[in-house]
Structure 1
Amino acid sequence: MSHEIVSQTQSKMNKAVDHTLHEFDNIHTGKATPAMVESITIDAYGSSMRIKDCAAISTPDSRMIVIQPWDKGVLQAVAKGIQVANIGLNPNIDGSVVRVPLPEMSRERRLEFVKVAHRHAEDGKVGVRKARHDGLDALKKAKLPEDETKRLEKEIQVITDKAIADIGDHLASKEKDLTEVN
């Protein structure tokens, strides 16, 4: 049975990994994904809303994002929100939908995004190591028997290694997505 300190440490590490994966999703790979625009905030109904909260987002092909607001009154707000977000996309209003074509990415731009992915991965690894450090500190303060402390330290190291390997695997996958040309 796992100790409470180990469970808390693993939970913190999982949050660091999940945050890193979310950051990876926001990196433009040249392939259209709803994640590229869903968290952009727009001014609608007198307040700030995310696009995914007021519209259906689809990707009919790898070079196009289509946003269909549930209320046609927010079409202009959606288009303006994407432009203001300054993510390099140029939305077009087409009837009752906003079409967002993805521009072709240059080699230099792809390499820039690889660097961004590496930075996010390193930040995620730092978060995992901080969780490990906090967990080991909590073990020392818990004043458990020495043999149990050693066993729990090894358990924390195993989940640390797994979390860092997860980030590394996802980074390799993201790098492959970024460098291969469609």
Structure 2
Amino acid sequence: MNEEIDLILETTKESMDAAIAHLEKEFIKIRAGRANPSMLSSVMVEYYGSMTPLSQVSNINTPDARTLSVQPWEKSLLGEIETAIMNANLGFNPMNNGETVIINVPPLTEERRKQLVKQAKAEAEDAKVGVRSARQEANKEIKHLDVSEDLEANAEIDVQELTDAYIKKIDALLESKEAEIMKV
């Protein structure tokens, strides 16, 4: 019977790991004032009649902390890329120098930093909800097992300890992201 409980715990751990991985991915999208190629991950460019991610038609670099440089593989795409970046509503004003599209990333205002912290907190709360629902699912599965009350209680304690550990991880990730956003 112990194998079934181990399997439930392993599945729960995988679900909680997935919640953490998702949170980390979402945190990358929240910019903290420094230029990062992932800022343009949502930009789609029309390329030979189909919408294509910007990263698949160009090189995106960060020459310095405040600048993004987009060098298309085909010069004919410069205008399309510039338009796509403006239409993506990211708050950037791209400039075209004939070879590359240069984007100056404006420094964050205090108000914008606070908005980003709120957004980060919301993402962290979503991750916590994911962890808690994994706990709930595990406890439900444990109750359906045909095991002794002691074994059931110990398994539920293990699930709760796992949950607490993952909630702490989420809080630590949020704390570091908050510090990164608020650092001027």
* 2:120 aligned to which of 117, 121, 136: 117
Q: Normalised by the size of structure 2, how large is the TM-score?
A: 0.88
d(CA) in 1 for partners of 2:76, 2:154? 60
Is contact 2:23–2:127 with CA below 8 Å preserved after alignment?
yes
Bigger-Rg structure (1/2) = 2
| Residue 152 (structure 1) shift | 2.6
Q: Residue 167 of structure 1 corresponds to which residue in structure 2? A: 170
- Identity score, percent: 36
Q: Residue 76 of structure 1 corresponds to which residue in structure 2? A: 79
Q: How does 1:1-182 map to 2 (within 5 A)?
A: 3-181=6-184
Moved more, 33-42 or 68-77: 68-77
Q: Normalised by the size of structure 1, how large is the TM-score?
A: 0.89
d(CA) in 1 for partners of 2:121, 2:77? 36
| Residue 172 (structure 1) shift | 0.9
Query: Cα deviations across residues 32-69 of structure 1 (Å, max 9, x unaligned)?
Result: 11111123222222222222222222211110111222
| Residue 103 (structure 1) shift | 0.8
Change (3 A) 1:67 1:149: farther
| Residue 175 (structure 1) shift | 0.9
Q: Which runs of 4+ in 1 moved over 3 A?
A: 144-148
Change (3 A) 1:107 1:147: same
d(CA) in 1 for partners of 2:148, 2:76? 65
| Residue 3 (structure 1) shift | 1.6
Count of residues in correspondence between the two structures: 181
Change (3 A) 1:45 1:153: farther
| RMSD over equivalenced CA pairs, Å | 1.9
Is contact 1:38–1:57 with CA below 8 Å preserved after alignment?
no
Change (3 A) 1:69 1:146: farther
